[in-house]
Amino acid sequence: MTDLLKTFDGLDITKYAQIVSQKLKINQDIYYYDNEHKNYYRGLQVYYQCDGIEDRSEVNTNSVGGINAIKTIDILVVESEWQGNKISHAFAKANKQALTGLQFCPHCNSKAFDPKDKNYCRDYEKHIIKCENNGGKIIKKVKLDYVQKPYCPHIMQNKTYQYLLANGRENEFKPTQYFIIYDLETVPKIVNKKFGKSSFQMYELFLLSVASTIRNKQGIKKIFFSQQDGNDFKVQWLNQLFKEAEQVNADNQYLTAAGIKDDKIPYSIEVPIVEFNSSRFDISLIISYMQCKDWTIINYTGSPSTAKLIIVHHKKLNLKVKFVDMLTYLQPMELKQAAKDFGDGYDDKKGLFPYECFNTDNVNEILSNSQPFSMQDFNSSLKKTKISQKDYQIYLDDAKRFKNRWDYLQFYNEQDTYIMIKLLMTLISLQFKYKIDMFSFMSMAACSNALKYAKAYEVFDINGVYPNFDDNSQKFHLTEQYWQSKVKGYIQQDKHKKRDTKNNVKDSDYEYFKRLFNESNCKICGCKFTVNNKPKLDRIDNSKGHSIDNVQPCCLYCNCFCSDKDKNIGKLFIQLRKYCMIRCLPTNLTDIDVYHLVRKWITGGLSNVMHRVNRSGIDFIKRIQYDKDNKKVTVLTTDHRITHVVGVDFNSLYPSVMSSEPHQFIKYTNGKMYMCGSQTGKIMGNVDHSKQTIQRIINSKKRFTENGQLFIAEVKGHIDQNYINDFINFPPMLRNYDFTTDERTIGSYMYNHMKNNNVKTDQKQRKLTNLTSTMGEYMAFSSYYLWFLIDDCHFIVDDVKQIVLFNKHDQFNSFIKEFTKNRIEAKLDENKGQEQFFKIVMNSSYGSDGMNMEKYHKVKIMNKKQTERAIRSNAFMDEQKISEDSYLVQMNPEHCSCKTPLQVAFFVLDNAKYWNLNFIYNFMYKCLDMNRIHFIEGDTDSAYWAICGNVNEDFTQQFNAVINDREFYNDNAKYYFPSIRGDVYDEKKILGLAIERQGISMIALAPKNYMIETNYNGNSKIKLKGVNQKTNKITKAQIIDCIEEGKITKCTNMRLGQKNHLMSQLAIEKNCITGIHTKMLVLENQSCCPYIFGLIATDYSFN
């Protein structure tokens, strides 16, 4: 043992702490000693990673008993020196309070308080009461605006366009069109360290060179720095970058007729510094150089491992630049493909470089060589590719122009930046056509959302005559209590702003203001005062206090957004509000209870599997049946043998359902799906009378007319048991369901499969699945979805909890129709870039409406002292040192806000479910023999069906052989399927669909995990979520082995990522084919049955 200790090099605590946590199922708080401040502090938290739990805030580490009880061990690390080497010693600590001198919260075990602090008792008591009520978790407090505002981000989030529009100068608006592009090249350091069970860190990557292309008014300029320029070449590059950014910033400014900067026009967009795919890679190589005495990071958006946006401020130049990833404005793709699609149509301008043929030991020797690289040098272990003879010849032709490989590196590095210019300019131009300045928004989703609302406000005229809107709420009557609270508030407000309060309004002025509010309207916009449009006192002279002779009545909206603004800006806001209310366009939510209702029940697209093995000529169509008397479910195998598989795919489903385009199969609100606007009311079902009122609204015959009321209703209910068998083969209630993966719930087949492969069972899960009831709880549905369930699915509403009312509009119609038309025209012109652009914009345009700020964390730049304080907070998540006295600190804040119309995203997602189900039950079930069809797998906007068709025809027969009402099919198929051969406009019609793929067999192990054989030659299409199939050769045999033998196949994903805060090339082993499917109860015959309220796994069987 002594000899072993002498030769033992020790362990990497960062690496092995994680291993220990996983092995022992514990959390670890690791403490260190600060020699400078003479105290102990917690410096690292290592958490046991539960399967299926992505966010550690979801894990209750303090609950007693059950699966969530995860013990936390406190470790003290002390450093010493031995034979000139620093050694760390780890000790388990029994009392961290005694160690640190701090008092820790007994509930979250994270928040620390200093007993010496004068406010210790107050702060400690306040925290533990709140923490105990929250179960030791951070429950975020959501802050909403007090008043409904028009949601028009293209105006509200761009101060430049806002000012120009308000002053009648919108024709002067221009995009941010001058920018800097950069690209980094790296050199690998061979590491070959194992981590986890069988993953490897192959290389650490270090900066080799950096190139930038600057686009300004003078033209194009390139700069290049590399290791040949010295060890400080990164700092040299940043210095030069800021110098170039000065000119770019000046060129982007608005100028007067005299050619000088126009200070009246607010323009504050930081200089864009753009890189392709930098957020996960390149930024991590240079972030440590962004914090120094001359410049500092003032805003960091993202996580420590993924920087979506970094804003850096140069102190001396008073200049701000922002580092952004080009891919935030595109869908994931390679630079070569992006340059081809959005550039000039060529891809051969992208150079070729052998990244892996040198390392830190021989880089100078290899790159100083004057000979061209060999073909073998281009072999890539990361992508598992080899260079083609054609590409190698292109490289040889380029290499002839350079005296050595260093010079070729410069050419290659600069070329990667140069080919992005046309790409960027194309995107900027496409966005600006709709008055969207791309760089004023963070992402394509944000740009698309702004563009959607820009189209909705397209005919808005600031000088238009818009009457005051009708507010259906009750007239406002001032009460003494309300008035007294306002008087106190005005005094506090004036004192805070150091205004004289001697003559402020008093409690005794109540009768005067009661009469004033009753007899007058808002002095700014002229609207009446109601319960939903309460009055405020607006100061006439903003330098004086709220005296009776210096105030006038105005509504809350005008008081917040118009009273102290430039008159033209105030007019713009008033006109926008009137236009918004008249057109019933969306506004933000102001009711916190409504916010929580919508946030809880907003659900994405379904992804599910109901029959796993579907082989033509071998397997049979299966039908699920429910025995209502004995409360049993049985899967019956029919005599209908499968002949082929058909997949249908909706045309841009989300854009379609928010288009308000008329359709023959929409029987509500006069034949089209309206979109919700603003909340107009709410009724709580807490007494019988209000419950009856809610039921009357839901079941009103007006739903079949244009006057149908849109709503979100929270109800409890079920499908009538006499009709369950009409819907059990594709249950129509698509909602999240909470369950435990125990044998009683998921069944012995899947439970044993998980146990046999060492996959955790008996875990709590929440999954979106198909249900036949609300499972004994209240669930929220939008109006169209609930109407469909009641009218077409025999859904019985057992109880109602509340209903939220919204007005409705069809103002997104022009946006969807125009972009659908533009996409088709681009396709016909073979313009892939524009075709992609219009498709991406439509498909991502709803996302920002439903952005969940509760899930976002904050990353701040802190010095050492600030970081130590942050670590004491229960909001602390992670920290990373980036320079001598700078740390990236990730926090989970206790507060967040929501300024978007969340209800719009709710309606889009629910309308998509309604439209999908409407096709199945009001088209397929009406004209197809569903006893010869069963559902295999579906994913958001597509569905695959196994069919027993005509054995004498091939697999391209689609549904032809199973049509049992030919007249209905012939009359109505045209409303969904393409009906005019070769007509792309008909093929891509709004609310339509098409055949996505056909084949002879399909095996679907789990959602987003399937294989379909697409012809008789054995060719197949395999889909595996999270698996790089280019570097992992997945076979049909492996999928079959999973079914027949219960084998789990592992794969290795080669990728670039951070390891111990260093950019590295990683080989990460993970489970590839698991066959784990818990969204339904999987039986041994590979059929998957829905969970039914009141039934357990033993109630399900097959024959």
pTM above 0.85, yes or no: yes
Calculate mean pLDDT across residues 267-273: 95
The percentage of the chain sitting over the pLDDT mark of 90, rounded to a whole number, equals 64
Q: What is the mean pLDDT of residues 539-558?
A: 91
On the question of pLDDT at 1055 being above 70, the answer is: yes
CB 176 within 8 A of CB 285: no
Compute the average pLDDT of residues 253-257.
Answer: 93
> 455-494: buried (b, 16+ CB within 10 Å) or exposed (e) per residue?
bbbeebebeeebebbebeeeebebeeeebeebbeebbeeb
Please give the pLDDT value at position 819. 96
Nearest one of 418, 381, 782, 810 to 585, comparing CA atoms: 810
Task: Confirm if 717 and 825 have CB atoms less than 8 A apart.
Answer: no
The more confidently predicted of residues 1011 and 37 is 1011
What is the percent of the chain where pLDDT is above 70?
Answer: 94
Most confident of 323-332, 723-732, 856-865: 723-732
> How far is Cα of residue 899 from the mean position of the Cα atoms in its chain?
16
Tell me the torsion sign for CA atoms 336, 337, 339, 344: positive
pLDDT for 61 beyond 60: no
Report the C-alpha gap between 67 and 61 in whole angstroms.
10
Is pLDDT above 70 for 14? no
Nearest one of 947, 281, 353 to 616, comparing CA atoms:
947
Query: CA angle, corner 853, sides to 849 and 443, nearest 5?
Result: 60
Residue 414 identity (one-letter amino acid):
E
Residue type for position 711: F
Give the residues across from 344 on adjacent strands.
none
> Measured over all CA atoms, what is the biggest interatomic distance in the chain, rounded to whole angstroms?
96
3-state class (DSSP) for residue 1019:
coil
Q: Which two tokens stand for residue 298?
A: 């003032």
Query: For residues 861 and 297, what is the distance between their CA atoms, to the nearest angstrom?
Result: 7
Confidence of residue 343 (pLDDT cuts 50, 70, 90): confident
Comparing 318-322, 781-785, 890-894, the range with the smallest average pLDDT is 890-894
What pLDDT is stored for residue 85 in this prediction?
A: 66
- b/e map 377-401, b = 16+ CB within 10 Å: bbeeebeeeebeeeebeebeebbee
pLDDT at 560 over 50: yes
Decide if pLDDT at 564 tops 70: no
The structural domains of the chain, ordered by start, are 2-101 (no CATH), 158-186+207-439 (no CATH), 480-563 (1.10.30)
Res. 11 pLDDT band, cuts 50 70 90: low
Each residue's pLDDT tens digit, 700-735: 999 999 999 999 999 999 999 999 999 999 999 999
Question: Residue 460 gets which letter from DSSP?
Answer: -
Band (pLDDT 50/70/90 cuts) for residue 193 is confident
- Give the ranges where 928-992 is alpha helix by DSSP (H): 966-972, 984-987
φ, ψ of residue 235 in degrees (nearest 5): -70, -40
Res 99 pLDDT > 70: no
Please check the confidence at residue 54 and state whether its pLDDT lies above 80.
Answer: no
When the pLDDT of each residue in the chain is averaged and rounded to a whole number, the result is 89
Amino acid 51: pLDDT: 45
Contact 583, 1014 (CB under 8 A): no
C-alpha separations of 256 from 171, 201, 260, 364, 397 in Å = 14, 56, 5, 52, 49
- Contacts of 782 by beta carbon, 8 Å cutoff, 6+ apart: 676, 710, 711, 712, 906, 907, 910, 911, 914
pLDDT band at 486 (very low <50, low <70, confident <90, very high): very high
CA distance 961 to 951: 9
**What's the CA gap between 473 and 682, in Å, rounded?**
11
The 620-627 sheet, strands edge to edge: 620-627, 632-641, 1100-1102
With a CB cutoff of 8 Å and minimum separation 6, the contacts of 968 are 926, 927
Is the four-CA dihedral 918, 836, 173, 322 of positive or negative sign?
Answer: positive
- Give per-residue pLDDT as tens, 747-759: 999 999 999 998 9
Going by C-beta distance under 8 Å and a sequence separation of 6 or more, which residues neighbour residue 297?
Answer: 287, 290, 291, 310, 311, 312, 313, 861
| Cα torsion angle, 49, 51, 57, 62, sign | negative
Phi, psi (degrees; rounded to nearest 5) at 895: -125, 150
- Average pLDDT, stretch 616-638? 96
Report the pLDDT averaged over residues 919-933. 97
List all residues 6 or more positions away from 801 whose beta carbon is below 8 Å from its beta carbon. 684, 685, 714, 715, 716, 778
Residue whose C-alpha is closest to residue 293's, from 216, 235, 338: 235
CA 704 to chain centre: 35
CA angle in degrees (0–180, nearest 5) for 768-772-774: 70
pLDDT score recorded for residue 64: 32
Q: What is the mean pLDDT of residues 30-39?
A: 69
Query: What amino acid occupies position 802?
Result: Q
CA angle in degrees (0–180, nearest 5) for 672-680-894: 110
How does pLDDT run across 514-524, given as a tens digit for each residue? 999 999 999 98
CA gap 290, 315 in Å, rounded: 12
Per-residue pLDDT at 254: 95
DSSP 8-state symbol, 611: B
d(CA 917, CA 657): 13
Closest CA to 476 of 529, 438, 516: 529
Question: Across residues 220-224, what is the average pLDDT?
Answer: 96
* Predicted confidence band of residue 67 (pLDDT cuts 50, 70, 90): very low
pLDDT value of position 65: 35
Tell me the helices (H) and strands (E) count for the chain, helix number first: 32, 42
Residue 1 pLDDT class (50, 70, 90 cuts):
very low
pLDDT band, very low/low/confident/very high, at 82 (cuts 50, 70, 90): low
| Interatomic CA distance for residues 67 and 127, integer angstroms | 26
SS3 26: strand
Q: Which residue has the tokens 């090099």?
A: 9
- Residue 136: per-residue pLDDT: 74
Task: Calculate mean pLDDT across residues 114-141.
Answer: 81
Compute the Cα dihedral for 1091, 1097, 1100, 1101 and give only its sign.
Answer: positive
Residue that is written with structure tokens 């959302």 in the block: 449
Residue 967 and residue 973: Cα distance in Å, rounded? 10
**Is the pLDDT assigned to residue 103 strictly greater than 70?**
yes
Which residue is it, tokens 């916190």?
592
DSSP-based three-state secondary structure for 791: helix
Between residues 560 and 994, the one the model is more confident about: 994
Give the CA count within 13 Å in the CB-facing half-sphere of 175: 22
Among 633, 717, 754, 735, smallest CA distance to 1092 is for: 633
Tokens representing 54 are 């992505």
Residue 592 corresponds to which tokens in the numbers above? 């916190």
Give dist(CA 728, CA 794) in Å, integer.
12
End-to-end CA distance of the chain: 63
Residue 12: the pLDDT is 66
**pLDDT band for position 512 (cuts 50, 70, 90):** very high
Q: For 792-822, what is each residue's pLDDT tens digit?
A: 999 999 999 999 999 999 999 999 999 999 9
Class of residue 442 by CB neighbours under 10 A (exposed 0-12, middle 13-18, buried 19+): middle
Q: Which of 41 and 171 is assigned the larger pLDDT?
A: 171
